[in-house]
Amino acid sequence: PDWLLSKIPDGVSYDMASLALCGFGPSFGAFDAMGVDAFDTVLITGAGAVGLGAVANATHRGARVIAVESIPYRVERAKMLGAEVVLDPRDTAALATLMALTGGRGVDKALDCSGVPAAQRFCIDATRRKGEVTFVGECSDPVEIRVSPDMIRKGLTIRGSWHYNLSLYPKIMQVIQSSPLAEHLISHTFPMREIQRAFEVSASHQCAKIILHPWE
């Protein structure tokens, strides 16, 4: 519907404006719901395009960022975008390391962008008492959420978030326009005629956000 087509501000390219969708968009809505700010330590699990956008969003808000990712390319890109530490999910000591990094408390807010049940559970375990956890990674597999120890006694707020409310669009554009990190979220651009090559790069995981130009 045409009322969903928000105007791109003057001076913002199509490539940069596209980051308002599955680049900055999902995490922006989640961070707005959780009220992430400069006083928070934020955990982000999964550093694909959405997770990398979350790192840049959290950094822009002034938060301290701890990420979880195993693919070396994305580990380095997460650090480039502002992650202080990137933990390997295959490391059995990852949770203990995170706790040591947070003085034994856990993170204030956690965001799963991977859609992997183990990562979602890691977010729950790694978040401090009365902290907040949000899921944006699509997942149809079950994740263990224990109502009493996780939500009643620990006091966690656990939510799902689907992109963002349209009223937030101007703020997302402000991030895209003002953040020096935004351009680093795009790793590849392809003309539409090379879409097969774009899919191959995406499948390799050696990428951040991939942009297609339908006019080429």
Structure tokens at 167: 């009223």
pLDDT at residue 4 in the model: 83
| pLDDT tens by residue, 60-78 | 999 999 999 999 999 999 9
Task: Find the DSSP H helices in 8-110.
Answer: 14-17, 25-34, 49-60, 72-80, 94-101
Reply yes or no on whether the pLDDT at 182 is more than 90: yes
Strand 157-160, strand 127-135: pairing: parallel
The structure tokens 């003057």 sit at: 10
Reply yes or no on whether the pLDDT at 1 is more than 90: no
Give 3-state DSSP helix, strand, coil % of the chain, rounded to 5.
45, 20, 35
Residue 135 C-alpha from the chain's centroid = 10
Task: State the CB neighbour count (10 A cutoff) for residue 178.
Answer: 9
CA distance linking residue 106 with residue 58, whole number of Å: 17
CA distance linking residue 17 with residue 209, whole number of Å: 13
Nearest one of 157, 153, 108, 103 to 135, comparing CA atoms: 157
- Whether residue 42 contacts residue 63, with contact meaning beta carbons closer than 8 Å, is answered with yes
| pLDDT tens by residue, 76-121 | 999 999 999 999 999 999 999 999 999 999 999 999 999 999 999 9
Structure tokens at 28: 């922006």
Strand partners, 176: none
Nearest one of 32, 72, 29, 25 to 53, comparing CA atoms: 25
Reply yes or no on whether the pLDDT at 3 is more than 90: no
Those residues with Cβ within 8 angstroms of residue 143's Cβ, 6 or more apart along the chain or in another chain: 117, 120, 121
